Structure 1
Amino acid sequence: MNKKMLVSTVLSSALIASSFSATNVLADSSKAAKNWNDNANVPVFVKEKIAKKRTANNAEDAFNYLEENTEETGIKNPKGKMHVKQVQKDELGMTHIRFNQTANGVPVEGAEVIVHYSEDNEVVAVNGHHVPEAEVIDTTPEVSSVAALQRAKEAVNAPAELSAAPTSELVVYPTRNGNYLAYKVNVNFLTEEPGNWFVFVDANTGKVIDQYNAIMHTGDDHQQAVGTGVLGESYKIHTTKVKNPKEGAIFSLTDTSHEGLDGINTIDAKAWEIYTNDSASWKADELKPAVDAHYNSEQVYEYYLDEHGRNSLDGKGMAINSYVNFGNDYNNAFWTGHEMVYGNGDGSFFIPLSAGLDVAAHEMTHGVITHSANLKYKFQSGALNESFADIFGVLIDEGDWELGEDIMGPGAVADGRTSLRSLSDPAKYPVGATYAPYGDGEGNYPSHMDEYYELPEELDNGGVHINSSITNHAAYLIGEEIGKEKLGQIYYRALTVYLTATSNFSDARKAIVQSAIDLYGTESAEVTAVENGFDGVGIYE
């Protein structure tokens, strides 16, 4: 007899920042001469190192550097207008000081500038986004945060029961139509149409300025147990043995075996309880999707720990929670901003989606992105969000360059859909009929900027799952030259060190080239491969 044990979790709010980018730069530490972006107020440094050795590599010196170069950067009075968000030291000995722009102490959404130091205390790169016009806005709200929260809930038809406590933060929100003082409200719920909504409510009028759903699709004693997955494979999994005074011991899909990690939990989405079993053998048919999710979560966790020294999705050991058995015949998997959720598929197009290691890696990488670059989930930054998730999906499930090949149902295979997306040959699959008119007429997933889909925001958040195949293909071209291990090192560094919330495709090229320079040197084959890969898909500086 299978039983379930109630899971008690503390869910943190999602952190997916957003803004219209007024500046967009990346410095190349290898070369000299200044190059200017007419629309930017932060310099692009190229050709050689940009500063002599400095006395320190801390936030105070970074402030001083920005102050000394205010004419070039356009950041006047940086100590009064920039807030230190993060100081990061990496394995190369580099230090990265990340600032968030503020206006009268109110953060400017998506506006970040990063100062990068070499191990010799040289400022070797400055990149980010700065919105000078946002600094003159009146930051006194007329509308209360309570009223803004209610307006946000109404705008997204939020149910009475939310899966996490909503959050509300006063920000300056840059748009193409001007800068607004706004409440950034996050509302999260799990229904048949799940939501991780970010709603920006004008703090003076109470009107909704912008909104988008950032659901990103696709005394206990720990024991080693054996389970069978959906595809019939046997796995060794870590479970927890819990003594029950009335009925003896039961085993739960809770892994507490990793030091510094708050646990890996696999939960029944219908009962909201951790899966349990009366033995250490997890082979019943109804348990197979849960076994896959549990095993795959540990594999992805270990990849990020072993390859990149990252302890869980936030880098700080947060619990990894996966909800399985979501919805009815639900053909999707997603990251909510807090946890992974897997549908069981309809049996024709998809089988249970937790069966795919690359699917689990994709969704968990969305969690890594949430806690690093925070790429805004629409248009090109959203496409990069999806692309990085796809890329790490195929890096972790390393046998091929296909995403989702293990979870396609018999109906999909019969129709020629043997995977969800292909990084090596994106055009092998058509986009949906709704999206096709916005492309070049071929109606297939693009692999070059000549095939880019100019989609409105209401369709796929501006093409996050479609245009991502362009940068996916660039990664494939690079990986074929240098191998998947080096590709992972370069892309992880770009994601966690250089990219910001509003980065676009050009930013990504610069960040990934810079990361290759950091790791392998200016004239290395790896840098050449990166440049050739992006040239090959039409993404230039």
Structure 2
Amino acid sequence: MKKKYLASAVLSTAFLMGSITVSDAAVIGPSSNSSSVASGTEWNENANVPIFVKERFAKKQHESSAANAQDYLEKHSSQTGIQNARENLKVKDVQEDDLGMTHVRFDQVKNGVKVEGAEIIVHYNEDREPVSVNGYHNPQAAKETIDTAPELTSKKAVDAAKSSVNAPEDMKYDPETELVIYPHDDQHYLAYKVNITYLGDQPANWFVMVDAKNGQVIDQYNTIAAVDGDFHKGVGTGYWGDQRELHTTRVTQPRESTLFVLQDESHDELEGIYTYDADTDELVTNQSSSWKAEDLRPAVDAHYNSEKVYDYYVEEHDRNSLDDEGMPIISYVNYGTDFNNAFWNGRHMTYGNGDGSYMVPLSAGLDVAAHEMTHGVITHSANLVYRNQPGALNESFADIFGALVDEEDWEIGENIMGPGAEADGRVSLRSLSDPSKYDVNDEYVSYGNGEGKYPSHMDEYYDLPENLDNGGVHVNSSIINHAAYKTGEQIGKDKLGQIYYRALTTYLTPTSDFSHAREVIIQSATDIYGEGSEEEQAVADGFDQVGIY
């Protein structure tokens, strides 16, 4: 039920949110102990599962249910390498898309416990025929004898996780736990995956893997990384002086003045769009429907841009909010002091006001809002692990949709750069059309080709360790960005968005790498526009031009 704020000027910040399901098994992939599902009759030498096992059957399978998908995998176990599918796969999701295709997504399990990062998707055409399979399967986990009875309580796991990341005692959100089998360093651990989210001077969204037998921390990473009443229509002024039409709520209180609140509940299927002040932890309020005071400008931009991004996903992709189920869209502004960053923490967007020299308030950028909100879409779809190539794909899809929503150019962050940055020639954060126009962090230079520029091609790839930029998530993402740009220049941004959105929500899995991304983005173009189409060729050409073959 939508919340109403009619009783007091002190407004509640409590919202019930869905559980966070960001995966973290970056060690699983085609180059490690997992099996990667290959195209047509081609086989991955490192795997025993083909990608897109395409077959036509004389006898149709008339139902595309989870049970029938398991039957299909059981029947073709010699091709896929997946043994005992009924026992070892648990249905995660069944979706029918607007092309009439049905997609059954499974988690790999061991004794009912999920194998982290291992997902298989069976795809049916509109005639209910199984036509393809893709994803990642961990055959080693399937073969090993793994004791799945924990000796540690989830509470003790949370305590160990909080201690390992120096989490503050007072946190807005309770830590969340899930018992998983976690592949790491060629071993399989029974572990609690603990998600710890907090704000403060150093905001964080940690995923900590705690051994469920002895309480030791196996692995951890933070997905927040630093970067260089009465519905009412109001009018506000953004940071750059743009006039913004806002959907707000008028709160009338007995014997007190009327307040206007940045609370938009005007969309039928959406719980609401809410903009908070991080300093007060309350919804941003104003005495009138004219939001033109200078100190309100970051909030005006965040509220307006949130609705613009929401509208894009509804109108272009029929997606209802970040989770496609109408979850509230929540933003915090005025965060930190001279804070040159914005982030999605698994629950909401947060925007710093910049330092005034390098950056202005980050909520001023529509592409920045689209980038952060797309991280939310990723969390609730492909769930790409925030490390190495899956993490670079995560960042890249956020950048690509940032450039699609803010359709004027192929730059990210051009509206948040301050005078000091512009004087140094930094007129945006990243460029999809010309990534190499900007330098990378000095620490990264020795891991690339020596030129120290953002890469446009796999020849310029940065082989970064995981302690630097989580293995290059913000750096190597520019290769995929450039591939998307090359494709978009041939077919236009509208078609590019349809293709990449389908790949993100239909085919990609948590541990997809660049090679898998090429496969499934081409497949998405084929699904929508047909085999041999101009659009399919443009996607392939985009990847060819950046060296992903």
Return the alpha-carbon distance in structure 2 between the equivalents of residues 205 and 131 of structure 1. 24
The aligned residue for residue 68 of structure 2 is 61
Within 5 Å, which residues of 2 pair with 1:156-195? 156-195=165-204
Q: Give secondary structure in 2 for the equivalent of 1:97.
A: strand
1:387 maps to which of 392, 396, 400: 396
AA matched with 2:104: I
Q: Aligned Cα RMSD in Å?
A: 1.4
Return the alpha-carbon distance in structure 2 between the equivalents of residues 51 and 45 of structure 1. 15
Within 5 Å, which residues of 2 pair with 1:132-171? 132-135=139-142, 136-171=145-180
Return the alpha-carbon distance in structure 1 between the equivalents of residues 45 and 153 of structure 2. 38
- Deviations along 1:164-201, whole A, 9 cap, x unmatched? 11011110011232111111000000011111000001
The aligned residue for residue 499 of structure 2 is 490
1:294 maps to which of 292, 303, 321: 303
Q: Give secondary structure in 1 for the equivalent of 2:275.
A: strand
Within 5 Å, which residues of 2 pair with 1:105-254? 105-135=112-142, 136-215=145-224, 220-254=229-263
Q: Which has the larger displacement, 74-83 or 395-404?
A: 74-83
The alignment status of 1:268 with 2:277, answered yes or no, reads: yes
What is the Cα deviation at residue 4 of structure 1? 6.2
The answer on whether the counterparts of 1:5 and 1:276 sit within 8 Å (CA) in structure 2 is no
Return the alpha-carbon distance in structure 1 between the equivalents of residues 76 and 116 of structure 2. 23
- Deviations along 1:277-326, whole A, 9 cap, x unmatched? 11000000000000000000000000000100000000000000000000
The alignment status of 1:480 with 2:486, answered yes or no, reads: no
Return the alpha-carbon distance in structure 2 between the equivalents of residues 178 and 92 of structure 1. 41
The alignment status of 1:99 with 2:127, answered yes or no, reads: no
Count of residues in Structure 1 that have an aligned counterpart in Structure 2: 532
Q: Give secondary structure in 2 for the equivalent of 1:42.
A: coil
Q: Give secondary structure in 1 for the equivalent of 2:172.
A: coil
1:16 maps to which of 11, 22, 31: 22
The alignment status of 1:335 with 2:344, answered yes or no, reads: yes
The alignment status of 1:517 with 2:531, answered yes or no, reads: no
AA matched with 1:95: T
1:441 maps to which of 446, 450, 466: 450
- Deviations along 1:487-523, whole A, 9 cap, x unmatched? 0000000000000000000111011000000000011
Q: Give secondary structure in 2 for the equivalent of 1:35.
A: coil
Return the alpha-carbon distance in structure 1 between the equivalents of residues 311 and 226 of structure 2. 22
Return the alpha-carbon distance in structure 1 between the equivalents of residues 291 and 482 of structure 2. 39
What is the Cα deviation at residue 26 of structure 1? 4.9
The aligned residue for residue 311 of structure 1 is 320
Alpha-carbon spacing, 1:217–1:366, altered in 2? closer, same or farther (3 Å): farther
Q: Give secondary structure in 2 for the equivalent of 1:227.
A: strand
- With the length of structure 2 as denominator, give the TM-score of the two structures: 0.95
Alpha-carbon spacing, 1:329–1:116, altered in 2? closer, same or farther (3 Å): same
The answer on whether the counterparts of 1:216 and 1:363 sit within 8 Å (CA) in structure 2 is no
Which consecutive segments of 4 or more residues in structure 1 shift more than 6 A?
A: none
Return the alpha-carbon distance in structure 1 between the equivalents of residues 52 and 519 of structure 2. 12
Return the alpha-carbon distance in structure 2 between the equivalents of residues 137 and 274 of structure 1. 48
Alpha-carbon spacing, 1:45–1:281, altered in 2? closer, same or farther (3 Å): closer
What is the Cα deviation at residue 534 of structure 1? 0.3
The alignment status of 1:432 with 2:438, answered yes or no, reads: no
The answer on whether the counterparts of 2:62 and 2:127 sit within 8 Å (CA) in structure 1 is no
AA matched with 1:117: Y
The alignment status of 1:503 with 2:509, answered yes or no, reads: no
Q: Which has the larger displacement, 130-139 or 186-195?
A: 130-139
AA matched with 1:481: Q
What is the Cα deviation at residue 24 of structure 1? 5.1
Return the alpha-carbon distance in structure 2 between the equivalents of residues 300 and 496 of structure 1. 17
- With the length of structure 1 as denominator, give the TM-score of the two structures: 0.96
The answer on whether the counterparts of 2:35 and 2:139 sit within 8 Å (CA) in structure 1 is no
The alignment status of 1:347 with 2:356, answered yes or no, reads: yes
What is the Cα deviation at residue 13 of structure 1? 3.3
What is the Cα deviation at residue 50 of structure 1? 4.7
The answer on whether the counterparts of 1:326 and 1:344 sit within 8 Å (CA) in structure 2 is yes
AA matched with 2:79: E
Q: Which has the larger displacement, 37-46 or 65-74?
A: 37-46
Q: For structure 1, which runs of at least 5 residues remain unmatched after alignment?
A: none
The answer on whether the counterparts of 2:526 and 2:536 sit within 8 Å (CA) in structure 1 is yes
Return the alpha-carbon distance in structure 1 between the equivalents of residues 361 and 418 of structure 2. 9
AA matched with 2:342: A
Q: For structure 2, which runs of at least 5 residues remain unmatched after alignment?
A: 1-8
Return the alpha-carbon distance in structure 1 between the equivalents of residues 24 and 315 of structure 2. 31
What is the Cα deviation at residue 248 of structure 1? 2.6
Q: Give secondary structure in 2 for the equivalent of 1:487.
A: helix
Q: Which has the larger displacement, 510-519 or 144-153?
A: 144-153
Return the alpha-carbon distance in structure 2 between the equivalents of residues 227 and 74 of structure 1. 59
Return the alpha-carbon distance in structure 2 between the equivalents of residues 316 and 12 of structure 1. 10
Q: Give secondary structure in 2 for the equivalent of 1:522.
A: coil
What is the Cα deviation at residue 216 of structure 1? 6.1
What is the Cα deviation at residue 217 of structure 1? 6.3
- Deviations along 1:186-235, whole A, 9 cap, x unmatched? 000001111100000111221111100012667x1110000000000001
The answer on whether the counterparts of 1:24 and 1:127 sit within 8 Å (CA) in structure 2 is no
The answer on whether the counterparts of 1:11 and 1:164 sit within 8 Å (CA) in structure 2 is no
The alignment status of 1:415 with 2:415, answered yes or no, reads: no
AA matched with 2:11: M
Return the alpha-carbon distance in structure 2 between the equivalents of residues 43 and 34 of structure 1. 7
Return the alpha-carbon distance in structure 1 between the equivalents of residues 99 and 271 of structure 2. 28
The answer on whether the counterparts of 2:34 and 2:140 sit within 8 Å (CA) in structure 1 is no
Alpha-carbon spacing, 1:222–1:45, altered in 2? closer, same or farther (3 Å): closer
What is the Cα deviation at residue 40 of structure 1? 2.0
Q: Give secondary structure in 2 for the equivalent of 1:496.
A: helix
Return the alpha-carbon distance in structure 2 between the equivalents of residues 455 and 244 of structure 1. 57
AA matched with 2:212: A
Return the alpha-carbon distance in structure 2 between the equivalents of residues 270 and 41 of structure 1. 53
AA matched with 2:139: P
What is the Cα deviation at residue 42 of structure 1? 2.1
The aligned residue for residue 42 of structure 1 is 49
